[in-house]
């Protein structure tokens, strides 16, 4: 977001795939949306990235991201596409 600089943006530090909230937690999801939409009337400078105060509640990192992806692909019986650079 820092590179792209949308006029107004909100950042939620949740894992990818859950950035609008935890599943089946409508109150959390609505709070996230309200805080994000609030930027429309309260942001004052272009390119602001507002960090919203929501906490996922457990640490996660790039390794977790790759592990979760692998688990998901295994559960669903699909494979990660093997991209090969063109020779």
Partner 1 sequence: MKPIEYVTSLDEWYQSQGFPPYRWSQFDSSPWTPFDKPLGEARIALVDSAGIFRDDQEPFDPWAVNDLSFRRIPVDTPRERLKLHHNYFDHRDALKDINCIYPVDRLRELAEEGTIGALVPEAITLGMGRLYKRTALQQETVPKIVEILKEQGTDAALLVPA
Give me the residues that bind partner 1 (CB under 8 A), please.
3-7, 11, 13, 15-24, 26, 29-30, 33-34, 36-38, 40-41, 45-47, 55-56, 59-62, 65, 68-69, 71-73, 75, 78, 80-81, 83-85
Residue 50 or 65: which CB sits closer to partner 1?
65
Please report which helix (H) or strand (E) contains residue 70, including its range.
Answer: helix 62-76
Residue 11 or 50: which CB sits closer to partner 1?
11
The closest of 62, 29, 34 to 50, measured between CA atoms, is 34
CB of 82 to partner 1, least distance (A): 9
**3 state SS for 36-66:** HHHHHHHCCCCCEEEECCCCCCCCCCHHHHH
CB of 81 to partner 1, least distance (A): 5
CB of 22 to partner 1, least distance (A): 7
**CA–CA distance, 79 with 81 (Å, rounded to integer):** 6
How far does CA 57 lie from the centroid of its chain? 14
């Amino acid at each position: 977001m820092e590179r792209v600089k949308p006029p107004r943006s909100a950042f939620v530090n949740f894992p990818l795939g859950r950035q609008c909230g935890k599943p089946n937690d409508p109150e959390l999801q609505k709070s996230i949306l309200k805080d994000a939409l609030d930027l429309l009337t309260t942001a004052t400078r272009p390119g602001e990235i507002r960090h919203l105060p929501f906490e996922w509640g457990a640490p996660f990192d790039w390794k977790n991201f790759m592990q979760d992806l692998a688990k998901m692909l295994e559960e669903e019986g699909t494979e990660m596409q093997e991209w090969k650079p063109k020779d």
